[in-house]
Amino acid sequence: MIYFDYNATTPVDENVLEVMLPFFTKHFGNASSNTHELGWYAKGAIDKARNQVASLINAEDAEIIFTSGATEAVNMAIKGVYEAYQSKGNHIITCKTEHKAVLDVCAYLEEKGAQVTYLGVDYEGRIDLEELQQSFTDKTILVAIMAANNETGVLQDVEKIATFTHQHQAIFFSDSTKLVGKQLIDVNEIGMDMCCLSAHKLYGPKGVGALYVRRKNPRVSLIPLFHGGGHEQGKRSGTLNVSGIVALGKACEMAQSEYWDDNTKVSKLRSYIEHQLLEIPELRINGSTRDRLYNTTNLYFPVLKDGSSVFSKIKHEFAVSLGSACTSSNASPSHVLQAMGLSKSEIENSIRISLGKQTSQQEIEMFVSKVLVLYQ
């Protein structure tokens, strides 16, 4: 099986694994145990990891809250703001192509009295900034727009979105799970008030992530999801996953140092796939070809002569995706491609290919050859 599904998850890097393993056995202390050396050592490791995560996005260490992953961080951010700012309003602006974690939280809050505006997107998968500006009301407290789409790789203009959001004294939260590590991020330069990331998208382990929460200009307040112990500055109670957090820190450090090399290598491989396969009549790239992640391509493949799909012919040899891994158990068509205006048939015959730093030219050539043969 050749793996082209790096947007779903990534293998743990050997260097990441190496730094986390001692915290299962030798350095097994609880980071909240402040009366002995094992606890102090774990606390020091957590502090180092917090700094590594903060450095990747140019945040302050104290602005990083460790979580079990991006889904928890999304819930913490959106629910936390909704509860903390009810005296100001109950209006949230988001987008139809958001990750289901965001959409499901917004649907839940609508049942609790929230008013939610779901922005549409154009055929490239980008929101209309004028529609965004017109959507603000005096009750708007939060704008939740993802930086990079997980299915298409399409990038939103988060800097302008942040500017418009702040003009209306609202908070800007961006699900940056797919962006972190694939593009250099400065939360202050962009104007993000909150963003999230997940270790397993960065060659780290599953089950650990982080939420960035701005502490000044403006200071963001959150009502916590969990209570019991007051960990993470009272925002996320629960014993810290020391080994996972250490791994996340190392993964962030490596992402920062390897960014340019990965970008150069992987973008060339992605370009090779597209240039070769665009020889197929009617094949199309879904989404913007200018504003997107360097590792992702979402392709519509015409139905084969025998009436079957390309996916059915390659699924046992190549690990690719028909959409988001988080919604693959749902039989309904991709809500992202649907919002972009694709028909049910086009959606069913679209494949997401996401590459990583371990992808080789040989693997790419094997894939291209396999697909081109199907159309001969």
Query: How far is the C-alpha of 127 from the C-alpha of 324, rounded, in Å?
Result: 20
Structure tokens at 155: 């990038």
Q: Which residues pair with 92 in a beta bridge?
A: 116, 142
For residue 361, report the phi and psi dihedrals to the nearest 5 degrees. Answer: -60, -40
Q: Kindly tell me the burial class for residue 326, based on how many C-beta atoms sit within 10 Å of its own C-beta (0-12, 13-18, 19 or more).
A: middle
Cβ–Cβ under 8 Å, residues 213 and 60: no
Residues 27 and 20: their CA atoms lie apart, in Å, by 10
The residue behind tokens 């009295």 is 113
**Which of left, alpha, beta for 233 (phi over 0: left; psi -120 to 50: alpha)?**
left
Cα–Cα separations (whole angstroms), residue 42 to 18, 25, 45, 47, 243: 16, 12, 5, 9, 9
**Which one of the listed residues 95, 196, 252, 326 is annotated catalytic?**
326
Instruction: Give yes or no: 326 in active site.
Output: yes
SS3 call for 94 = strand
DSSP per position, 321-373: BSS-GGGTT--SPPHHHHHTT--HHHHHTEEEEE--TT--HHHHHHHHHHHHH
Please report the DSSP string for 274-301 in residue order.
Answer: HHHHTTSTT-EE-S-SSSB-TTEEEEE-
Residues sharing a CB contact under 8 Å with residue 73, sequence separation 6 or more, in sequence order: 65, 67, 196, 197, 198, 209, 210, 211
Phi, psi angles (nearest 5°) of residue 177? -55, -40
Q: Give CA angle at 371 (368, 374), nearest 5°.
A: 150
Planar angle of CA 269, 273, 277, nearest 5 degrees: 170
In sequence order, the 6+-apart residues with CB closer than 8 A to the CB of 233 are: 62, 65
CB 242 within 8 A of CB 45: yes
Q: Which residues are catalytic?
A: 326
